[in-house]
Amino acid sequence: MRYGQIRHYDVANGPGIRTSLFVTGCNHHCPDCFNLEYQDFTAGDPWTEKETAEIISYLQEDLTRGLTILGGEPFEHPQALWEILTQIKTQVDKEVWIYSGFIYEDLIQDSDSLELLKLCDILVDGPFIKDLKNLSLRFRGSSNQRIIDLKKSLGQDSLVLWDEKSRDD
């Protein structure tokens, strides 16, 4: 797996101050993609143990609420991300958001993707659709995209959206 960047402090991709990881490689090719350069599977740098340690150190800071994984398409690399998240979680337990151009109903049909989802708390799903673009939406670009509470959804076999009002931010 390759990655385009790690942001130490990010306030745009999930609640609170977060560390974010942008993987590279995506086959969705959404018109008006917000990260065109990260569609390329050869963009960025190869992931190593150094990057895993870097993320762990950022997440260990008290002010960092969690980790967000986006891209590119994270679910082009479900096994690699599963291994990285498993390693991170042995050192620090913080909330994990993950973005995908695939929809939840399709991701849970794929065993590797399902295992990765089980390590995450929130999924923002679906491709960016230009005609449904809405700048007033939090943490997503178009109104087809859903913010899904994975702990509740995977636990009860029905989709539960994130309850934004229950959060303290």
Phi first, then psi, for residue 128 (nearest 5°) are: -75, 125
The residues near 59 (Cβ < 8 Å, ≥ 6 apart) are: 19, 66, 67, 88, 92, 94
Per CB under 6 A, 140 contacts ligand SF4: no
Q: Work out whether 39 is an interface residue with ligand SF4 (CB under 6 A).
A: yes
Is 3 near ligand SF4 (CB under 6 A)? no
CA atoms within 13 A on the CB side of 150: 23
- Report in angstroms how near the CB of residue 165 gets to ligand SF4 at its nearest: 27
Query: Using CA of residue 101, residue 103, residue 17, residue 3, what is the dihedral sign?
Result: negative
Cis peptide before 16 (omega within 30 of 0): no
CA dist 114 and 134 (Å) reads 29
Q: Which part of the chain contacts ligand SF4 (CB under 6 A), choosing from 5-13, 51-59, 69-77, 161-169?
A: 69-77
Residue with tokens 């974010």: 20
- DSSP for 94-107 reads -EEEEE-SS-HHHH
- Our finding on whether 42 is near ligand SF4 (CB under 6 A) is no
Looking at the Cβ atoms of 38 and 94, the one nearer to ligand SF4 is 38
Is position 29 an interface residue for ligand SF4 (rule: CB under 6 A)?
A: yes
The residue among 57 and 142 lying less far from ligand SF4, judged by its C-beta, is 142
- x/- site string to ligand SF4, residues 94 to 123, per CB under 6 A? -------x----------------------
**What is the rounded distance in angstroms from the CA atom of residue 100 to the CA atom of residue 82?**
15
Is 64 or 145 the residue whose CB approaches ligand SF4 more closely?
145
Q: If binding is defined by CB under 6 A, does position 128 make contact with ligand SF4?
A: yes
In the complex, least distance from residue 113 CB atom to ligand SF4, rounded to whole angstroms: 14
Return residues touching ligand SF4 (CB under 6 A). Answer: 26, 28-30, 33-35, 38-39, 71-73, 101, 127-128
